[in-house]
Amino acid sequence: LHVARFFVVGIDASGRAVLQGDEAGHFARVLRLGVGAEIDVFDGRGAMFRARAVTVGRDDVGVEVVRPISPAPEPRVRVTLAMSVLKGDKMDEVVRDATMMGVAVIQPIVATRSETRLATVARSDRHARWLRVAIASVKQCGRAVVPEIRPVADLHDWLAAPRSGRLIVPVEPSASNGLAPLGDLTPSDRACIAIGPEGGWTPEELAACRTAGAGLVALGGRTLRAESAPLVALAALYEAWHVW
Amino acid sequence: LHVARFFVVGIDASGRAVLQGDEAGHFARVLRLGVGAEIDVFDGRGAMFRARAVTVGRDDVGVEVVRPISPAPEPRVRVTLAMSVLKGDKMDEVVRDATMMGVAVIQPIVATRSETRLATVARSDRHARWLRVAIASVKQCGRAVVPEIRPVADLHDWLAAPRSGRLIVPVEPSASNGLAPLGDLTPSDRACIAIGPEGGWTPEELAACRTAGAGLVALGGRTLRAESAPLVALAALYEAWHVW
């Protein structure tokens, strides 16, 4: 018995919330639900409730809370994924998968070999698109937390800014000779994982990551596709640190 | 300096090999290479060589070996991935990703909730298609081993047949209460990982897996997409057993 899940911007003290925009459209026009329908609502910050529709308008649906629901648990590590912006749909895949794996923050970055420029990404509608992808993934995986998606940044600017948690940088096999495995890093309750673009990190970028205190690690000897590396790195981290 | 990689069915004792079919077409018509061109060839069983083209025909390209090349290393565990056949392109993604992660064998299976039937898959051209996807992924990730892709089988028939290595069955969060984490399983040099279809395993299937000696494990509390579960399970296994 799967109850449809909806994102709401907030739930007020009296237990009322409003589905807006796409969410309202999904309720009424896609699922053809009406007053009295029971749904699950989550606020994107960790709260989830069974709720009942009380008003159904064209652009908003009012609901009242019935009872709290336990969402899928968050991992016991707060991960920021600093992801080099990939071409087209590949970045959508990364946002979807990282959300499913429970990351707290997604920081899109532009690196030397990125096949796009900071200004191009910044003036596109990709941030809004990634947020929609993340919300859809939250519904599918059962979380009640929508990861924060930060504005795109240059790698070096991001490395220079304050960060909480150990920075972990997976490195492609050709550059990873002699690197320690990820499991050798001291576990912590916070981590940043930075993943390079399709063409990999430049030697200068790897040096800058080292200078910024990063632990450079190998994820096996096979060359991973850039869009698969986040899933592999997150699974390895959770297993190594026992923080699933 | 990336040298194009080609699959050859075999390399004879005098160091000669022949690119056939799609491989020959890729050499001559796509990359427009000719006699004297240097390429890398692998036999799908672990050998890789730098080679030079000596004859270029319409449907085959003869090469002679120049020197051995070190391919990407195989993981230190021989994994059979028993994968419930997914719809359309999703199974291609799984074959691609599992190959990239270094699995030795892919065993397509049909389970109760699979959205296809054994006979439908068996009489389709999907086996040949999966093999092409695996070869393309081998080229991308740098392995010289093409995983064996077995004929599709019914889950129960497959469970009843002899198997080498511990059977590991990731279970969705709703059914995984109280399960041990994957890291609790005793490491081995062989393992079988069985992944359920989009709708998950039925209770009867889980019972049959237990009877067959499977270790049922959870991969965190979020619901994973079926096509992502193999990557997550393989990364967790390699990390838990230190066999990257």
pLDDT at A189: 96
CA atoms of B16 and B28, how far apart (whole Å): 18
SS3 B154: strand
Instruction: Give pLDDT, residue A19.
Output: 97
CA–CA distance, A230 with A242 (Å, rounded to integer): 17
Test B97 with A242 for CB contact under 8 angstroms: no
Contact residues, B window 152-211, toward A, CB-based 8 Å cutoff:
173, 181-183
Shortest distance, CA A77 to any CA of chain B (angstroms) = 12
Question: Considering CB atoms only, which of A221, A223, A233 is closest to B140?
Answer: A223
How confident is the model over B194-208, as a mean pLDDT? 96
Contacting A residues, span 102-121, partner chain B, CB-CB under 8 Å: 102
Interatomic CA distance for residues B111 and B196, integer angstroms: 7
Closest approach of chain B CAs to the CA of A173, in angstroms? 8
A142 touches chain B (CB under 8 A): yes
Across the interface, do A239 and B239 touch by the CB < 8 Å criterion? Answer: yes
Q: Give the model confidence (pLDDT) of B44-90 as tens digits.
A: 999 999 999 999 998 999 999 999 999 999 999 999 999 999 998 99
pLDDT at B99: 98
Pair A233, A219: CB distance under 8 Å: yes
User: Environment class of residue B166 by beta-carbon count within 10 Å: exposed (0-12), middle (13-18) or buried (19+)?
Assistant: middle
Residue B224 predicted with pLDDT over 80: yes
Q: Which residue of A has its CA nearest to B232?
A: A235
Q: Pairing mode, if any, of strands A5-7 and A38-42? A: parallel
Nearest CA in chain B to A101: B222
Q: Specify the DSSP element, H or E, that contains B7.
A: strand B5-7
- What is the percent of chain B with per-residue pLDDT over 90, rounded to a whole number? 93
CA atoms of A123 and B22, how far apart (whole Å): 42
How far is A100 from chain B, CA to nearest CA, in Å?
7
- Report chain A residues whose CB lies below 8 A from the CB of B76: none
C-alpha distances in Å from residue A29, one per residue of A6, A12, A198, B114: 14, 25, 39, 29
pLDDT at A176: 77
Provide the shortest C-alpha distance from residue A140 to chain B (in Å): 7
Closest CA to A28 of A69, A65, A63: A63
Q: Is B140's CB within 8 Å of A225's CB? A: yes
Q: How far apart are CA A61 and CA A9, in angstroms?
A: 12
Start-to-end C-alpha separation, chain A: 26
- Pairwise CB contact (< 8 Å): B239 & A244: no
Using the Cβ of A231 and the Cβ atoms of chain B, whether some distance falls under 8 Å is answered with: yes
How would you class B137 by CB atoms within 10 Å of its CB: exposed for 0-12, middle for 13-18, buried for 19 or more? buried
CA distance B206 to B200: 10
Query: How far does CA B123 lie from the centroid of its chain?
Result: 21
Burial group, residue A70, by CB count within 10 angstroms (0-12, 13-18, 19+): exposed
Mean pLDDT over all residues of chain B? 95
Q: Is the dihedral of CA A116, A121, A125, A126 positive or negative?
A: positive
How many angstroms away from the CA of A171 is the closest CA of chain B?
14
List, as one string, the DSSP characters of chain A. -PPPEEE-S-B-TTSEEEEEHHHHHIIIIIS---TT-EEEEE-BBS-EEEEEEEEE-SSEEEEEEEEE-PPPPPPSSEEEEEEEPPSTHHHHHHHHHHHHTT-SEEEEEE-TT-SS-HHHHHTSSHHHHHHHHHHHHHHHHT-SBPPEEPPPEEHHHHHHS---SEEEEEE-GGG-TTPPBGGGSPP-SEEEEEE--TT---HHHHHHHHHTT-EEEE--SSPPPTTTHHHHHHHHHHHHHT--
pLDDT at B132 over 60: yes
At B175, is the pLDDT very low, low, confident or very high (cuts 50, 70, 90)?
confident
A-B contacts (CB, under 8 Å) = 106
Residue B164 binned pLDDT confidence (cut-offs 50, 70, 90): confident
- Measured CA distances, B176 to A242, B169, B179 (Å): 16, 11, 5
Of the candidates A102, A223, A224, the beta carbon closest to that of B220 is on A102
pLDDT > 70 in chain B, percent: 100
| Contact at CB, A72 and B235, closer than 8 angstroms | no
The C-alpha angle A44, A234, B218, rounded to 5 degrees, equals: 85
Give kind and range of the element (H or E) at residue B194: strand B190-195
Q: Does A232 touch chain B (CB under 8 A)?
A: yes
Helix-, strand-, coil-residue percentages of chain B, each rounded to 5: 30, 30, 40
d(CA A215, CA B165): 34
Distance CA A142, CA A151 (A): 25
Interchain contact, A141 vs B75, CB within 8 Å: no
Q: Extract the residue ranges of chain A whose pLDDT is less than 50.
A: none
Give me the amino acid identity at A146: V
Q: Do B73 and A221 touch (CB under 8 A)?
A: yes
pTM: 0.96
pLDDT at B1: 56
A-chain CB neighbours of B183 within 8 Å are 239, 242
Q: Pick the residue from chain A with its C-alpha nearest to B173.
A: A72
Nearest CA in chain B to A73: B221
ipTM of the complex: 0.95
The reply to whether residue B97 touches residue A228, judged by beta carbons under 8 angstroms, is: yes
pLDDT reported for residue B32: 95
Return residues 75-94 of B near A (CB < 8 Å).
Answer: 75
Least confident of A121-125, B99-103, B230-234: A121-125
